[in-house]
Structures are given as structure tokens and as C-alpha cells.
Amino acid sequence: MLKYAIKMYLREIFMNTTYWVILGLLLGAEYFAATQYESSLAFVELLQFIAIPIYIFLVSTVFFTEDKVLTFELVLFRKWSTVARGRLLSLLLSILPFMIFTVFLAGHYNRNDLIAPISVAILFYSSAVLISTTIGGGSRLYVLSMGLLFMLPFSSLVLIQNQANIGNPVQGFMGYLTYLFAPIYGSYAVSSGILLVNVDKANLGILLFSFLLGLGYLYIFERREVYP
């Protein structure tokens, strides 16, 4: 049943005109930022604060379901574990087209230093939004996911810029937390000397944290109660 669950979720994501329109606009904006601006900051800020949050939100809304819809999925696929794993795997598959193009674009325009931050950022935001779906569906989930995707990276931007204005780099635990919230912009800040963290350790930490969020999602989701 798992493969049928994955097929159904992917069909809901990809068999949608809105998805392809927004994907085309985002990829076009990335290409424009990479080719039309000499500074890499435009590309970095577009990815961190606009393109990635919008894309993750776009492919995640399929899972913002009310209990009535979730009940139907449980009847259809018979097990909590099938629904949970189907959602997790289909979300991972749905981010591949965007991730592959974005990583290719960064590498093609000699921004290999951004490849790892781009990858871990997409994985982190995806897993964070997915685990948020365990609270239920409806408007509160939309608000929470928007906060995770847009306010977390923006908070890192504000902190880094405020510290840069007074001449103090962000470092230590706060530095790694700041990098976690905005890995792509954090990588740029490290190269600029205003964020002092070990990028390799930070990326590895985000990868492991994303994995733990995924496991946490499976554990919590399978123990949910629904009220159809």
C-alpha cells in the first residue's frame, strides 16, 4: 500500500497547474539572480528568503489536511505507518526537481560553497514543516508553517545584521543556532566574517537534526488521534 500512498500524494502535488506555474517562476527568478547580478548576495537572498520557503510551502500544503480527510486516508491505506511514511517519502521526492536545478545552478555559476547549505536548508525546512502537521490541519497550520519558513530565516538575518552594525560577529551556540535557521545566508555571513561557525560541522548538524525531525514525525504521527 505504501507505493499507492506515494503515488496519490505525488499526483496531488504534480498534477496541479499552480505547482508548475510557481515552479517556473521560482526557477526563472533563480536564473535571473544568478546571471544578472555580479554579487552573489542577490542569489543567496532570493534562495534563502523567497524561493525555498515558497517552494516548501507549495509542496507541503497537500499534507495540511483536516481530520476528516486524514480519516479517509487511514481507511484507504489501512495503517497509520503507511500514511506517515507515504507523506514523508512523497515530500522528499517532491523537493528533488527544485533541489537538483538549484544545486546545478549554484555549481554552474561557481558557487559550489552554496551546494551543501542549499541541500541542508531544503531538508531542514521540509522536515520542520512536516512535523508541524502532527498538530492537525486548518488555518493554524498555515500560520505555523509560514512562521517556520519565513520568520526563522528572517530572524537570523536581523541578528546577523544587528551584530555586524556594532562590529561583533555572531559566534558560539548562538552562531550555530543562527546558521540553523538560515543556512544559505549563514554561509554567506561566514565568508564575510560576521558569523563565526564551522560550516562543515554546522551542515552536518543540520542534516542529523533533519533526520531526527523525520523520525520524530513518524513517531508522533502514528500516535495521533483524529476526530472525524
Tens digits of pLDDT across the chain (228 residues)? 788 888 889 999 999 999 999 999 999 999 999 888 877 888 999 999 999 999 999 999 999 887 677 777 777 777 888 888 999 999 999 999 999 999 999 988 888 889 999 999 999 999 999 999 888 777 788 888 998 999 999 999 888 888 877 778 888 889 899 999 999 999 999 988 899 999 999 999 999 999 999 999 999 887 776 555
| DSSP letter, residue 16 | -
Report CA 41 to chain centroid distance, whole Å.
Answer: 20
Q: How many CB atoms lie within 10 A of CB 167?
A: 7
Q: Give the pTM.
A: 0.93
C-alpha cell at 206: 543540520
Q: Length of the chain in residues, anyone?
A: 228
Beta bridge partners of 170: 195
Give Cβ neighbours of residue 66 (< 8 Å, ≥ 6 apart). 136, 137, 138
Beta bridge partners of 195: 170
| Residue carrying the nine cell digits 520557503 | 53
